[in-house]
Amino acid sequence: MKKNNKKVPKVVASLVVIVTICLSYPGIMYYNFKNAERSTDVNNIDANPQRLTIIYRKGCSRCKKILPKLILEKGFSNKKYQVVNAKNLSPDQLEKYDVEITPTFRLNGESYNTTNMKIIDKLWKTSK
């Protein structure tokens, strides 16, 4: 008596798809973040004050702590946001946007120098 079990290949194929999606997700979300940065005009940050602007610095320990978590949690949200590397801002712009420390989240003309996820979640929800 020979057993022909066709369920095993289907289960393995399903697992391969699930693992592939899980491994690809962070890369896709990082791409979306970088794409938002590329499409943000640093001279026109205030054009849409109701859109959340994230100002960060590469190498910033606070940014490394909070941004990956934010990107992964909010990745598939339909919210549009702007991303600016603080090195691309002049000293006058840094002062204008109240960038005392990064990351800085800017919404409706106010800046928030925070890593508090409750505040960031509220800003994200308010953003349009």
pLDDT in tens, 6-27: 666 777 777 777 777 777 777 7
Average pLDDT over residues 93-121: 94
Q: What's the predicted TM-score (pTM) here? A: 0.81
Dist. CA 50–CA 126, nearest whole Å: 8
Delimit the domains of the chain by residue range.
7-126
Burial 4-36 (b: 16+ CB within 10 A, else e): eeeeeeeeeeeeeeeeeeeeeeeeebeebbeeb
Q: Out of 3.40.30.10, 3.40.50.720, 3.40.50.1000, 3.30.70.100, which CATH number does the structure's domain 7-126 have?
A: 3.40.30.10
Give per-residue pLDDT as tens, 26-51: 777 777 888 888 888 888 888 888 99
